Amino acid sequence: MRLERDLYASLKQPGFWAYAVWLDLISKNRRNRLGPLWLVVPTAILVFALGHVYSELMGHDIHEYMPYLGVGYVHWRLLTQVINEASNAFSGSSAYIMDGRVRFTDYLLRTMAKALFNYVFALLIVIVVMAWSPAVSLGGLATLLLTVPVLLINMFCMAVILALLGARFPDTREVVSAVMMFAFLLTPILWYVSKFPPGSTRGYFVSLNPLFHLLDFVRAPVIGQPMATHTVAFVFCMTAGGWMVASLLYQRYARFVPLWI
């Protein structure tokens, strides 16, 4: 099995994973009074409520802090959803796999598509925040056309690796969930990275956090901040290295997934 070949086939024939995502979303929201609005409400509450509280607690200008928090949280939510659900992508689709559908990229794209659907709705909150704030320009959103595809490639590589681990080790999802909760506190989303200055022990620790670099790669240009050179280098090295690792693991171990689950 080759990752590139299976991914190309899944993208060329999206019927299974696209329809599966549509059914998931319809079945989840059809009995709710607010329906699809529940895709927006939690993000809106968190961004506006925490934005006001934390800007006051930390002494930040709310017009600068709110876009920083909004862009950071929306993309962190996208990352978290893919990472958490990818670890159960194969195990949760065991019925389809045992029935003979062994193009595993279909299940990975199903996970990615569901997260992207939620992301598009959550992005509406970012647009509102940026339109409200005089400190940033809506034009920065155009940079997402360049940075988000790089983010998606990295997320797909992580999804491949975590899905294989989740198929082999059932406890992977619980471990990943615990790690992501801890990582949320250690990644500059609620606080500015300047709180941990470069050269300090804490600053060095943050600079080794790959999720911080992925997040800042997307967030910095949107809110008009300069992107650090080492962040760009880190992200592109991570993209190339992640794809190679994911491709090798998929080619070596994907054949064993039906036995593991």
The pLDDT score that the predictor gives to residue 161 is 95
The pLDDT score that the predictor gives to residue 52 is 86
Choose among 24, 165, 181, 153: nearest CA to 87: 165
As a whole number of angstroms, the distance between CA 26 and CA 123 comes to 20
- State the sign of the Cα–Cα–Cα–Cα dihedral 196, 198, 202, 205: positive
As a whole number of angstroms, the distance between CA 193 and CA 72 comes to 12
Number of domains comprising the chain: 1
Domain range for 123 is 3-20+38-260
Q: What is the pLDDT of residues 93-118, one digit of tens each?
A: 888 888 777 789 999 999 999 899 88
- Asked whether residue 137 carries a pLDDT value surpassing 80, the answer given is yes
For tokens 């880190």, what's the residue?
A: 234
Residue 219 makes CB contacts below 8 A (sequence gap 6+) with: 68, 71, 72, 75, 225
Residue 33: inside a domain: no
As a whole number of angstroms, the distance between CA 118 and CA 55 comes to 26
- Asked whether residue 151 carries a pLDDT value surpassing 80, the answer given is yes
Residue 26: inside a domain: no
Angle (nearest 5°) at CA 221 between 203 and 219: 55
Contact 250, 164 (CB under 8 A): yes
Choose among 118, 131, 151, 153: nearest CA to 39: 118
Residue 114: inside a domain: yes
As a whole number of angstroms, the distance between CA 213 and CA 227 comes to 10
Q: What is the pLDDT of residues 152-200, one digit of tens each?
A: 999 999 999 999 999 999 888 899 988 998 888 888 898 888 777 766 6
3-state secondary structure of 104: coil
The pLDDT score that the predictor gives to residue 138 is 87
Once rounded to an integer, what is the mean pLDDT over residues 65-82?
93
Q: What average pLDDT does the structure give for the chain?
A: 87
Residue 30: inside a domain: no
* Residues present in the chain in total: 261
The pLDDT score that the predictor gives to residue 30 is 66
Residue 203: inside a domain: yes
Contact 69, 50 (CB under 8 A): yes
The pLDDT score that the predictor gives to residue 60 is 85
Report the amino acid identity of residue 100. Answer: G
Q: What is the pLDDT of residues 194-250, one digit of tens each?
A: 777 766 666 777 778 899 999 999 999 999 888 888 899 999 999 999 999 999 999
In the chain, % of residues over pLDDT 70: 94
For tokens 């600079």, what's the residue?
A: 207
Residue 100: inside a domain: yes
Residue 212: inside a domain: yes
3-state secondary structure of 242: helix
Residue 252: inside a domain: yes
As a whole number of angstroms, the distance between CA 205 and CA 207 comes to 5
